[in-house]
A and B are shown apart, each in its own frame.
Chain A
Amino acid sequence: DAKTTQPNSMESNEEEPVHLPCNHSTISGTDYIHWYRQLPSQGPEYVIHGLTSNVNNRMASLAIAEDRKSSTLILHRATLRDAAVYYCILRDRNRDDKIIFGKGTRLHILP
């Protein structure tokens, strides 16, 4: 299975943009890049996913490198409520793959 690598933790100031990196050098052509986040004492929630093109939704943006070996989740204006663990996960679009969560990046937001 293709793996992802993320920093253990990051800090950002409130109301500033946050760029969360993810490396996935062994990604295959049929892997979607998914992002989830887990707020304290809650289950994970879906954030965004993409294949090749950059994606935007109400929560975040996903920037995917041209070679697809890395991606960046962008929170345009961080709030204290964005403090969470963010997980970058690869999912093969042709298979009913189970999601295996790595350690993710713990994002701290400074007021």
Chain B
Amino acid sequence: SQTIHQWPATLVQPVGSPLSLECTVEGTSNPNLYWYRQAAGRGLQLLFYSVGIGQISSEVPQNLSASRPQDRQFILSSKKLLLSDSGFYLCAWNLGANEQFFGPGTRLTVL
């Protein structure tokens, strides 16, 4: 069966510090991968998606970046965090137009 992992579960970082969030998927090959962010009390915002290794599409301009070094690994990064980067970060995967599966999420607080 397929499983999606995200870590860490929670993170508190100072403004200006770097960020690296990791997501891995097990039990499937060549999935589409997604990063979403949900600010407190707000909706889900799609940040990045990837249809293959090294292929990243950005949905919104920001100081975040994403990379896909392996088929089932998706990384969200920042060189310098802003206060506005606080939120609940969710990784997700799907195969084509089928059901999408979400990870447990990382709750990031930037102080």
Contact = CB atoms under 8 A, between A and B. Distances in A.
Interface in A60-111: 91-104
A101 B34 contact: no
Contact of A103 (B43, B49, B90, B101): B43
A46 B103 CA distance: 12
Contacts of A29: none
A98 B100 CA distance: 10
A92 B104 CA distance: 26
A46 B46 contact: no
Size band of the interface chain A makes with B: 20 to 34
Interface of B: 32, 34, 36, 43-44, 46, 49, 51, 59, 88, 90, 92, 94, 96-97, 99-105
Nearest to A32: B97
Closest 4 CB pairs of A and B: A43-B102, A101-B44, A46-B99, A43-B90
B43 A99 contact: no
Nearest to A99: B100
Contacts of B43: 101-104
Given A43-B92, A92-B97, A96-B97, 15 more contacts: A42-B104, A42-B105, A43-B104, A44-B44, A44-B90, A44-B100, A49-B99, A95-B97, A98-B34, A99-B34, A99-B92, A99-B94, A101-B43, A101-B46, A102-B43
